[in-house]
Amino acid sequence: MPDPAAAPEVKPAHLLKAGAAQFEYRQRSNPRTTNLDMLAYGTFHAGPGAVSDEFFHRAEEAILFCLEGACTVELDEGNGAAPRAVKLDYYDTLYLPRETAYRLVNESADAPAMLAVCRAPAENRHAVHHARWEEIRRDESRIRHLNQKDVFLMFDVSEGADKLIAGYTIYEPHTRAWPPHNHTDQEEVYIFTKGRGSMEVYPDEEHKTFVYSVDTMDAVTIPLLNYHPVFSQEEELHFIWCLCGERYWVGDKHKAFMDASVDSLTT
């Protein structure tokens, strides 16, 4: 029985100002708001010391990309597995299979954190996969060198998933994509993470109606059969590419993409 004479613990209250959100999810696109059939994209924003509620994607696999600060992802994979924590630093990625519960924790006392998340329907469960940027950026087996640009395969076909693969591309200043290519079996989103540039998305040369300047944290969705060249400007341009569909990277499947021996390419 509790001791009636014991003084109860009195904890302090918190003032939650209207404009000072500690944690926020921003939905950026999903199949109901774009012409993509499967791929969704959003961003998590965690203030210093923030702890999110639990997230759980019942029928989707997901990839997290750490784009600002650092964040700890607390995982509960179920099936009797012990809960664990994965620390994501800048540009690290984390693949989460369907039916995996997770919580985001920003342990910094003074720095915010931001993560992008891409999701797609999945029927099967695969292993969690953490890719560390500081390792990938030095691993030549994970880098594809093109003319004035490098592609980093953060989540590749060697890792298990139903539909997703993803990585980063870094352009040197004043560089354009060549050859332009499109996909018959992969839809895609580009998320620009550093620098300024421009992008075209079009079904054929006669109908170049989508031509836009892009800045940091702009994103472009790319439905099937659209060419999608990118152009950098005065500085380095970085972007995430996340593919959903058949699992291959165009340069590994088509040598002509690597040596630019054609004027355009359909995968």
Instruction: Report the C-alpha gap between 238 and 110 in whole angstroms.
Output: 26
Do residues 68 and 114 make contact, with C-beta atoms less than 8 angstroms apart? yes
pLDDT at 141: 97
pLDDT at 81: 78
220: its two tokens: 């472009």
pLDDT at 228: 96
Last residue of a domain, one of 131, 166, 181: 131
Residue 169 counted as domain residue:
yes
Residue 84 counted as domain residue:
yes
Residues 117 and 183 in one domain: no
Last residue of a domain, one of 100, 131, 162: 131
224 alpha carbon, distance to own chain's centre: 19
CATH number of the domain where residue 162 is located: 2.60.120.10
Label the pairing between strands 181-182 and 265-266.
Answer: parallel
109: its two tokens: 């006392």
Of the candidates 88, 92, 4, the residue with the CA atom closest to the CA atom of residue 46: 88
Of the candidates 55, 47, 98, 91, the residue with the CA atom closest to the CA atom of residue 73: 55
Residues 115 and 152 in one domain: no
pLDDT at 2: 60
Residues 168 and 255 in one domain: yes
Residue 13 counted as domain residue:
no
Q: Average pLDDT for consecutive 10-residue bins of the chain (267 residues)?
A: 75 84 92 96 96 96 98 90 93 97 96 97 97 98 97 97 98 94 96 97 90 96 96 97 96 89 88
Residues 124 and 201 in one domain: no
Residues 160 and 236 in one domain: yes
Residues 99 and 189 in one domain: no
Which is it for the CA torsion 23, 29, 32, 37, positive or negative? Answer: negative
pLDDT at 165: 98
Last residue of a domain, one of 131, 150, 165: 131
pLDDT at 20: 72
Residues 151 and 113 in one domain: no
pLDDT at 6: 77
Bridge partners of 220, per DSSP, are 190
Residue 185 counted as domain residue:
yes
Could you give the angle at the alpha carbon of 37 between the alpha carbons of 32 and 42, nearest 5°? 60
pLDDT at 19: 74
- Number of folded domains that form the chain: 2
**Phi-psi map region of 140: left, alpha, beta (phi>0 left; psi -120 to 50 alpha):** alpha
Backbone φ and ψ of 113, nearest 5°:
-130, 150
DSSP three-state, residue 177: coil
Residues 154 and 43 in one domain: no
Tokens 């921003």, residue located: 26
Tokens 């693949």, residue located: 95
Do residues 169 and 136 make contact, with C-beta atoms less than 8 angstroms apart? no
Q: How far apart are the first and last CA of the chain?
A: 72
Instruction: State the residue range of the domain holding 195.
Output: 138-260
pLDDT at 1: 59
Residues 104 and 194 in one domain: no
Residues 152 and 255 in one domain: yes
Residues 146 and 99 in one domain: no
DSSP three-state, residue 30: coil
Residues 59 and 164 in one domain: no
Residue 95 counted as domain residue:
yes
Residue 17 counted as domain residue:
no
